Amino acid sequence: MHLPTPELPADSPSQRAHDRHRLLRAFNLSFLLVLVLGVVFIAQPAFDVTPWTVQPHSLPGLLGLLGAPLLHGSVEHFVANAISLLLLGTLAGAVYPRATLRALPLLWLGSGLGAWLLGEAGSHHLGASGLTHGLMFLVFSLGVLRRDRPSVAAAMIAFFLYGGMLLTVLPHEAGVSWQSHLGGALAGMAAAWLFRRSDPLPPRRRYSWEIEEELAARQALDQELEPTAPREVPVLWQRPDLRDERGVVLHLDRRMAVKEPPR
């Protein structure tokens, strides 16, 4: 049995236009961030970047929490992070626009804080790889927590593209700041938990069998609340047959008779 659903079809023209607008906006914002990183990378030879790097266990090194994600050590380093930011930023911003904007400060600071707490004294940490790890773990964790279709699809895409980030949060290669990766990943999971309800859930299409079950339950409830028909009520007392015209004779005791008062 097919029953119509009240929701609009998922591929309606208005819905497609709205999705394209969200995707384009997320891409533009991600591209703007990559453009800022590119401008800073080009300008790096003109100034000393050391004060702006994360220096573990050093109070002046805390300044790197703000500046380190903008700096890169080589062209290859910048290109790798730029591509990751463009892809993951577009994916996260298109599916979770509110949660992504709210999570960015936490991811930015979390990656630097992980390097500052876990890094070796005297080392310098820089790069946006911690931010990319935070975005990947944000999208993946939101898919696990929300479990609606767009969230699961986004989590699968993020895992397909950058599932290797699950391994780079641990020491695996010299010269790679796994500490910032771990800090960004933890910040991404924390942000997913905090902002999992920031974006509304999409309307879920109801299947015909679900509506049939709901209608059956509603009918059963109505039958329970409906009063019993008069013909189904058990008879506890019946009136005498009025067709018997003989009537009933009551015998009274003479002692109970009332005497007329004397005149």
pLDDT digits (tens, 9 = 90+) for 104-113: 999 999 999 9
Question: What DSSP line would sit under 191-251, residue for residue?
Answer: HHHHTTTSSPPPPPPPPHHHHHHHHHHHHHHHHHHSPPPGGGSPP------TT-TT--PPP
What single-letter amino acid sits at 200? Answer: P
Query: If you average pLDDT over every residue of the chain, what do you get?
Result: 83
In this predicted structure, what is the pLDDT of residue 229?
67
* 98-137 confidence digits (pLDDT tens): 999 999 999 999 999 999 999 888 889 999 999 999 999 9
Question: pTM for the complete prediction?
Answer: 0.74
In this predicted structure, what is the pLDDT of residue 204?
63
In this predicted structure, what is the pLDDT of residue 140?
95
Burial profile 3-25: b = 16 or more Cβ within 10 angstroms, e = fewer: eeeeeeeeeeeeeeeeeeeeeee
Query: Which segments in the chain show pLDDT lower than 50?
Result: 1-6, 8
DSSP 122: T
In this predicted structure, what is the pLDDT of residue 206?
60
Burial class (CB in 10 A: 0-12, 13-18, 19+), 258: exposed
Tell me the domains of the chain and their CATH numbers: 14-194 (1.20.1540.10)
Burial profile 82-117: b = 16 or more Cβ within 10 angstroms, e = fewer: bebbbbbbbbbbbbbbebbeebbebbbbbbbbbbbe
What single-letter amino acid sits at 117? Answer: L
